[in-house]
Structure 1
Amino acid sequence: MGVVKDGSTTTGFLPSSEVFAIHYPGYPSSMSRAIETLGGTQGIRKAHSSQSNRLELHFRHQEPYSHPAFGDLRPCNNLLLKISKTKSNAGQTQPQSELLASKQDEVQIPENDRVHFDIVARVPEAYHFDGMVDYQHVVPVHADVARKKKRNWIEIKDPHSDKGGLMDIDQEDAMILLPQLFAPKDVPDNLVLKPSVTLSAKKNQEEPVQHQWEMDMEPVLAIDFGISEIPKRTNWEEYIPQGSDQWESQMAVSHLFDERPVWPKDSLLERLVDKGFNFSDHLLRRLLSRVAYYFSRGPFLRFWIKKGYDPRKDPESRIFQKIDFRVRPPLQSYCDANSANQPKHRWEDICAFRVFPYKCHTTLQLFELGDDYIQEQIRKPPAQTTCSSETGWFSYNMLENLKDCVKVRFLSVFPEPGAEPLLKAATESFKKSKKMSSNDKLMRDEVVHPQAKAGIKIKPHLLTLQFF
């Protein structure tokens, strides 16, 4: 048996015997009362030897409908100590001893007392009651009185009945209608709740209330590309108090559209964050809806466009068109592994081709791409006189050539091995599409008739076909 001397020095050997402890969640009147609420010694042994190892604690064990609290068995590293204290009093000594489960707590010893610590057993596991105790149904203490009154009433109503009259009632029990459990859970559990439909008080202060003038605005979200009239500019300055928080936020958004009329959302959001504004998605959409709109399809898909500006009628808007980059299946595992674990790339770094995107599909704006070849091509005269919903102001071959260029630039910065074959194939495709786009330019130059080049005026001829 091990002995602890002076509260710090341990001698001897640790005993081989093991016991388990119970952290009782309360202050029982006596040890016997505590054991009784746990089901007695037999009930404790049965629970410890069962497969679930769950110990039930009935605070009112005499009540048949009381709901127990459950204790779970957990490993620990404790010791059971026998503390012997000899206290000198007028030349006489009075020994006292008790068993305590101790971890590493410091014991304060008076100078006039002599205390000995004997290690009795090891405590490798203990029961902990971390559950919840809800309101419970209790059989009333006056149930016996009510039962007697009911029996006497039946005897008076039908005194000739052998078993209590017309109604046969079990005299050993009373009718009790038990309510359902107040809580279906015994142990606290983390729940993922859906966001509340009603905004909290904090959000109500942060986000402005929608006013009547906002309700009267034209639709600005997901407008069809074939619509004849685009949303007109809204004079929001007349309705928002100057100098207020809403005014500052709205001015920050409006100034961005003064720089250029078309913005991708990711780029616009990063610029606002750099300026010190951090808006929620709901508030950002409110601020944007006052000054901009976006199409549901076409070459400016989901790009926010300044109200009053129609990119379909302005050939110079070709530099603001979108271009898509899709990650091929052999490299999609890289995106899946890093999209949730790694911090999000800055939009500026993606557009400068300094990093490889984490998303398998990224929509970029030609104006923001940091590539000299792309910037040179998009500033050349447009190939078409109208803006189509498929390719915008560019020809199909030119748009494919720009896509190949973007693909080559991103594959060149892929951080892991395995992209070399794809990069080689993308480079060859870029060379071919470059020739195809050059042929488009030559074909446009050859549209002029040779006789027109010589200064001969060509009259149109009418061709008549007769069928017999």
Structure 2
Amino acid sequence: MSDTHVEMDTKYVSKELAVVEYPGNVQNVDKMLKTMGGITTISQVFSGEIKRLEVRYKPDNEFCKSLAGDAQANFGLVLKIKIRRSKRNPDEPPKYSVQVLGHTKKTYVFDSLADYTFLPIVKDKETGEARCAHQELVPKNVVDIDYFSRESLPPLCVPFQFARSDNIHTNLHRIDPKDDGTSDILGVLQKPYYDGREVIAFSLTEPFPMHPDPAVAKRMKVKYVSDEQLQIVKKLFDEIPCWTRVGLLYESGLSHDKLKHITPSVAYLFSNGPWRTMYTRYGYDPRKDFNSRYYQTFDLRLRYRTGMAELVPNAQKCGARGKDWERRPNESDIPVPGPDYPYLEEGKLPRSRQWILRYCDLRINKVKEMLDKIPTPLAGATCNEKTGWLPPGFDVQVRQIINNSFKETMREYYKNRKVQENSMEDDEYISDDIEPDKDSDEYDDDDGAEEDQEDIELDLDGDAVEVNSLKMEHMQVYDEEDL
């Protein structure tokens, strides 16, 4: 090895090159460049104008799927090595000539699929041999008028679009050991994540959990949950066994980050049924307690026009609604509770278009009387899977009462606002010492004043309503059945 002669040429070491691992055996360089789109296309790829380098083994065939190569960071040197051996003296050691052609920073690798290509092949009727019908299917140029006058074309159906994904997927799908292979339904690979909460489906026969997962206590320590914060939430569940998330945040005064780690140790969550989305205390079975009717889920959904739209925020913007609330004028006059208030009181509008509440959160006298007057079931009776302890159609009646309450609230609000606007106009007029000119815009004749004092008829849900000195926009409140 010591007798080996090596010559090194490092003159072009500072020259930057791009390496292309061509997927094929190159015998003709010109044909190879043509399959990659030519020198112009290759230069655009190297300069970054085109992200991927494509190779078409049949560049003149539009039905050939291209093979795409991606650039990968790969630093190294491009070497050209020549080995010279003496034919006269075979025992003489060879001479090596190494030339550094340049350095490279990226390499184009073709690791995508290239397992199919569609060719327009048809069978010749005369000879019975297969031939390429590309010239008959594709016009020669833009002035090939004979192409449109052809009557007989080979019956060939090729795809107009290739697969969008050309990468190899190595995902291994988990096999359910309980699956016997007779069902065609595909299940999920993993359970949904609910911040560690135990989410269960409502059932009339299956038992409900009695104790939390022991791992939850360890998680609370990691998240720095204090004993005082835990006792606050436990006290709330000792008083009332079912809560909404907004109700817990309001009554406990804790932040959402702390509360989401405390609730798994105190309560479980229903995913469906009469107590859907309600946090229920461990060990409490609402199917056996008739008083649990007060904690059943009431889904309030509203559809309205401009009358309520300017007051009630959009439910899709609940996350950013706190900032929008601060920018509102006359906040004290708006009959809408704050964004974090969990109760619906009489004389108030909902805080969003869709609102999940308990029936006990509806602080309306008529609704409370209806809940109290429900007759006690006989001993051994069980609740309904859909309506719980409430009779059928109870939610429809409650929704009608709430809609009527909203109408009265809107009437009072616009009536008070009209009175305030009129009083402000009177104050401005009295403070002005100069009588306005009749030709100016500030002057109002007597006919217009009398016209403002006339009664205005409104149509609310198809009912004619007469309101004195009130100009109110059209408003409609729909039931859930119309949604």
TM-score between the two structures when normalised by the length of structure 1: 0.41
TM-score between the two structures when normalised by the length of structure 2: 0.40
Q: Which has the larger radius of gyration?
A: 1
